[in-house]
Chain A
Amino acid sequence: MKCNYACNSPEHTIARRDFLGRLAAGACTMTGLSSLVHPAAAAQIAAQKKRVLSIFLSGGVSQFESFDPKPGTLTGGPFRAIPTSVPGIHVCELLPKTAQQMHRLSLIRTVNTNNNDHGLSRYQIERGHAQSATADFPHIGAIVAKGLDEGTSPLPGHIHVSSGAGSRSSNSAYLGPKYASISVGTNGGLQNSELPGGMTATINDQRQAFRRHANERFLQRRRTAETDAYVESHERAIQLMANREIFDVTKESEKCAAQYGEFDLGKQCLLARRLLEHDISFVQVSHSNYDTHAENFNFHIEQLGEFDQAFATLIDDLAQRGMLDSTLVMVLTEFGRTPNINYRYGRDHWGKGFSIALAGCGIQPGAVIGAMNKDGTEIADREVKPADLFHTYLRAIGLDPQSEFDIDGRSVPMADPTGMAVEELLA
């Protein structure tokens, strides 16, 4: 795809050089923070930088078995509701540790995507717009990375932690490849990030310098979106290699790792905390899978057991480190599950009223927004749409959802103008 980057405008040239310069400066800053600053002061500095953590429960977690239990009803299933650290708020008994963190969380129980398709509903939740054949919209992570990017970090601003690793997504739409997510895993740190055997750092520096020189000459006449993406990926990879220890959860103590859990989600949440500590603007962890058309209750015991331990530990850890006030934490899912329990002990897709949880930066803790009816079959009070969530997220971290991106001279709204923030949830 050709783009008008080939115009050779000074702005674009300077922007890219500026970016490379910032990468180098950022590396120094990071070194300074970790080694020279008093830990208390470092925490204070860290607290000033806002970040977002999304924990995405893929497949559609059941609201009945998580944040909106309906015990004693025919739709409620076999689990009981338990009290939380906030009087009057109950959650499902599958979340005993999360219940003890309720004073740091808030719930929205009436999210409505009005869509039961995994991909389409997830698109709405993560991008704040309905999917369209004529326009693509950026992932919330790309918007946050762009909005919060201070140009001081040597690391990408938008990272997805997953069981796989190393892939780069195209989820930044018109914001460009710089804000697309990079996927990293937890097994053995950052894969393929060491220099090949026999290559010294000096030799590597020299070959990278030569590559940059050759690139510069080429780009002066042939710059395109593709070449930008290529350069961007290369420079990001170099910085990731230089900071590879950040991605290595084995650097944490055994006790800490055990608290998070020795399973994939535990390790991924621990890695997420390490990334947030190093000022990554947006980190997403996905927990798979909750698409339980059969044996919904058995699978939720298994899946939410992992989630409860890892998530509650993470929230407490962020709070203890003084990071929660500056980190917006979102527990998202593409939709909920049906009130009806089918003949396989399963629940099917349900986009017409389900729950998410929010915590931290800009969020009033201990609140519950919206209510389903007694059986959880209809929204009884305060419908919240995906566009409203988007406005809420952005407002919580200090971004103005009414503002616009300047994309090649074209104004693009940061969020769907039809949405409105959930004002009563904002701190």
Chain B
Amino acid sequence: MSEAESSTPEPATFDIQASHVAREWKYSAPFIGCRYDPTGRYVFAASMDFTIQRWDLQDDSHTTFAAHESWLRGIGFSPDGQQLVSAGYDGKLCFWETAASPAEGQAVAPTREFSAHEGWVRWLAVHPDGKLIATAGNDLKVKLWSAETGELVQTLEGHAKHIYSLLFHPGGELLLSGDLQGVVNQWELASGKLVRSLDAKLLYTYHGGQQVDYGGVRCMALSTDGKRLACGGLHKATNPFAGVQEPLVLVFDWETGEQIRTHEATEVPRGIVWRLVYEPDGTLVGGIGGQAGFLTFWKEEKTEVHKLALPNTILDLDQHPSEFAVVTAHHDNHVRITRMTAKA
């Protein structure tokens, strides 16, 4: 680990212009996913070596969680932070004790694991009340699982292409699922019915020359006031096989379901918006990976207001539960924490 900042008290002022990399950890393999636990004590990062790596922000101690047989990008927690849930490209759903302490040199093993889907699970989301876990599979199914028992509660079918992202509405009654073709389905959990589909097809490209589907709803975020839904991904995919594209965010009015604006990111070559989060003041923060990695900040009805170049491409991002900070996963074997405050 390199410590770029002393452990002085966190300044309370949100200042995106002052954003800076505050901490970073290096591992032996690239990272493709990352999450804070709900208490903000730990950072969990998913590596290409099939493991989850945990860092304790209090003392920098480092622990390995191992059970998956493939990559994983789906990480979630029970609301109290006691239980970690992960879903991977091996189709498995694993439950873990978040704060587990294995013997020296040992990896943490899951408390429960089972096969959840045929093929990859690309996204995992935990219901706001913590009782349900949603997973999105390459089998074109969204599945809802009991967090307590692990039993399958419901299967939602309706996507024609791979499902890339999930988002529970904070009200707890709705689930959103976004797919490769830019279809965002809104499911009513009580009935299991598809109640609305939003059109995010600007994030989808069928490239006739290469005869491939490309793009998709790579991530979603709902503003803290509940009025805006943002969907991230890419557009202008002139050469999908070479990753020639530009990042794009679509913003929808939640009430009407109409797309009301787009956000682009300038000078982010070959970028993809891998994760979006809303800060409490309505600032939208995007983790964009391309030839370089950028944190990009957009305000309502404005083009990007700030952009911070990170040392390497970004493949995932998560928001600290209480501080003005984000964690990012990088291909150069690093996990980095960026504070959106002035340096102490």
Of B29, B240, B270, the residue contacting A74 (CB under 8 A) is: B29
Q: Which residues of A (248-269) have their CB < 8 Å from a CB of B?
A: 264
Closest partner residue, chain A, to B211 (CB atom): A288
Is residue B2 within 8 Å, beta carbon to beta carbon, of the partner chain?
no
- B242 contacts A293, CB within 8 Å? yes
Q: Is B49 a contact of A294 with CB atoms below 8 Å?
A: no
Query: Is the C-beta of B30 less than 8 angstroms from some C-beta in chain A?
Result: yes
Partner of A72, one of B50, B243, B291: B50
Are the CB atoms of B210 and A288 closer together than 8 Å?
yes
Q: B residues within 8 A CB of A322?
A: none
Alpha-carbon gap, A344 to B241, bound state (A)? 10
Return chain A residues, CB-CB under 8 Å to B50. Answer: 72
Chain B nearest Cβ from A290, distance in angstroms: 9
The answer, yes or no, to whether B289 is at the interface (CB within 8 Å) is yes
Q: Say yes or no: is A301 at the interface (Cβ < 8 Å to chain B).
A: yes
Whole-angstrom distance between the Cβ of B116 and the nearest chain A Cβ: 15
A385 to B243: give the CA distance in the assembly, Å. Answer: 31
CB of A344 within 8 A of CB of B270, answer: yes
User: Which of A59, A295, A298 lies at the interface centre, i.e. has the most chain B CB atoms within 10 A of its CB?
Assistant: A298
Q: What CA separation (Å) do A59 and B210 show in the bound complex?
A: 10
Q: Which residues of B contact A292 (CB under 8 A)?
A: 241
Q: Mark A69-100, 1 if CB is under 8 A from B, else 0.
A: 00110100111100000000000000000000
* B138 in contact with A301 (CB, 8 Å): yes
Contact call A295/B71, Cβ cutoff below 8 A: no
B241 touches A343 (CB 8 A): no
Are the C-beta atoms of A294 and B29 separated by less than 8 Å? no
Question: Once the chains bind, are A289 and B30 in contact (CB under 8 Å)?
Answer: no
Other-chain residue from A293, A301, A302, A343 in contact with B331 (beta carbon distance below 8 A): A343
Bound form: Cα–Cα A78–B46 in Å: 12
List chain B residues, Cβ under 8 A from A343: 289, 291, 312-313, 331
Give A342 to B213 CA distance when docked, in angstroms: 21
How many of chain B's residues touch chain A, expressed as a range? 20 to 34
Does A299 interact with chain B (Cβ within 8 Å)?
yes
Closest to A93 in B: B119
Is A80 a contact of B243 with CB atoms below 8 Å? no
Q: Is the CB of A341 within 8 A of B210?
A: no
CA distance in complex: A79, B289 (Å): 23
Q: Which of B30, B48, B71, B213 is within 8 Å of A302, CB to CB?
A: B213
Task: Give Cα A77 to B240, complex, Å.
Answer: 19
Bound CA span A295–B89, Å:
14
B206-254 CB contacts (< 8 Å) to partner A: 210-214, 240-243
Q: Does A65 contact B (CB under 8 A)?
A: no
Task: Given A288-B211, A293-B241, A295-B240, answer yes or no on A74-B313 (Cβ-Cβ < 8 Å).
Answer: no
Any chain A CB within 8 A of the CB of B120? yes
- CB <8 Å contact, B214 and A295: yes
Contact of A79 among B70, B242, B243 (CB under 8 A): B70
Q: Please state if B240 and A294 are interface contacts (CB–CB under 8 Å).
A: yes
A26 within 8 A of B: no
Is the CB of B173 closer than 8 A to any CB of chain A? no
Tell me the nearest residue of chain B to A265, going by C-beta.
B211
Whether A341 and B211, one on each chain, are in contact in the complex, defined by CB atoms closer than 8 angstroms, is no
What range describes how many residues of A lie at the interface?
20 to 34
Chain A's nearest CB lies how many Å from the CB of B312? 7
- Set B30, B89, B289, B313: member contacting A341, Cβ < 8 A: B30
B69: interface (CB < 8 Å): yes
**Alpha-carbon distance A37/B331, docked complex (angstroms):** 64
0/1 string, A274-293, CB within 8 A of B gives 1? 00000000000000110111
Complex Cα gap A291–B213 (Å): 14
How long is the Cα–Cα vector from A77 to B71 in the complex, in angstroms? 8
State which of A74, A78, A80, A291 has its C-beta within 8 Å of the C-beta of B241. Answer: A291
Query: Which of A79, A264, A289, A344 contacts B210, CB < 8 Å?
Result: A289
Contact in complex: B243, A294 (CB < 8 Å): yes
Task: Tell me if A370 counts as interface (CB < 8 A to partner B).
Answer: no
| CB proximity to B under 8 Å, residues A382-414 | none
Considering only residues 77-136 of chain B, those with a C-beta below 8 Å from chain A are: 89-90, 120
Within 8 A of B (CB), among A205-244: none
A151 within 8 A of B: no
Q: How far is the CA of A74 from the CA of B30 in the complex (A)?
A: 9
In the complex, chain A residues whose CB is within 8 Å of the CB of B71: 77-78
| Assembled-state Cα–Cα distance A293/B210 (Å) | 13
Cα of A288 to Cα of B212 in the assembled complex, Å: 10
Which of the listed residues B90, B138, B162, B240 has the most CB atoms from chain A within 10 Å of its own CB? Answer: B240
Residues of A within 8 A of B89 (CB): 78-79
B238 CB to closest chain A CB (Å) equals: 12
Asked, given contacts A74-B49, A299-B212, A343-B331, whether A293 binds B69 with beta carbons under 8 Å apart, the answer is no
B241 touches A59 (CB 8 A): yes
With a cutoff of 8 Å between Cβ atoms, the chain A residues found around residue B270 in the complex are: 294, 344
A2 to chain B, nearest CB (A): 39
Q: What residue in chain B is nearest A291 (Cβ atoms)?
A: B241
Determine which residue in B30, B50, B243, B313 has the highest number of CB atoms from chain A within 10 A of its CB, and name it: B243
A346: interface (CB < 8 Å): yes
Within 32-61 of A, Cβ neighbours of B (below 8 Å) are at 59
**Complex: A303 Cα to B214 Cα, angstroms:** 13
Asked whether A293 and B243 contact (CB < 8 A) given A80-B70, A343-B331, the answer is yes
State how many angstroms separate the Cβ of A90 from the closest Cβ of chain B: 14
Q: Report chain B residues within 8 Å CB of A298.
A: 162
B243–A289 touching, CB < 8 Å: no
Contact A78–B243 (Cβ < 8 Å) = no
| A302 to B207 Cα, complex, angstroms | 13
Q: Is the CB of B69 within 8 A of A80?
A: yes
Q: Which residue of B lies closest to A74 (CB)?
A: B29
Question: In the bound complex, how far is the Cα of B206 from the Cα of A43, in angstroms?
Answer: 43
Q: Which residue of the partner chain A has the closest CB to B138?
A: A301
In the assembled complex, the CB of A413 is this many whole angstroms from the nearest CB of chain B, namely 37
| B48 pairs with A341, CB closer than 8 A | yes
In Å, the complex CA distance between A341 and B243 comes to 14
Within residues 346 to 387 of chain A, which ones have a CB less than 8 A from any CB in chain B? 346
A-B contact pairs, 29 of them (CB 8 A): A59-B241, A71-B69, A72-B50, A74-B29, A74-B49, A78-B70, A78-B71, A78-B89, A79-B89, A80-B70, A264-B211, A288-B210, A288-B211, A289-B211, A294-B240, A294-B241, A294-B242, A294-B270, A295-B214, A295-B240, A298-B162, A299-B241, A303-B212, A341-B30, A342-B331, A343-B291, A343-B313, A344-B270, A346-B243
Q: Which 7 A-B pairs have the closest CB atoms?
A: A294-B243, A78-B71, A343-B331, A344-B243, A78-B89, A343-B313, A78-B70
Using a CB–CB distance below 8 Å, which chain A residues touch chain B?
59, 71-72, 74, 77-80, 264, 288-289, 291-295, 298-299, 301-303, 341-344, 346
Kindly list 10 other residue pairs between chains A and B, CB separation below 8 angstroms, not including A293-B243, A301-B138, A343-B312.
A59-B241, A78-B71, A79-B70, A80-B69, A288-B210, A289-B212, A293-B242, A294-B241, A299-B240, A343-B289
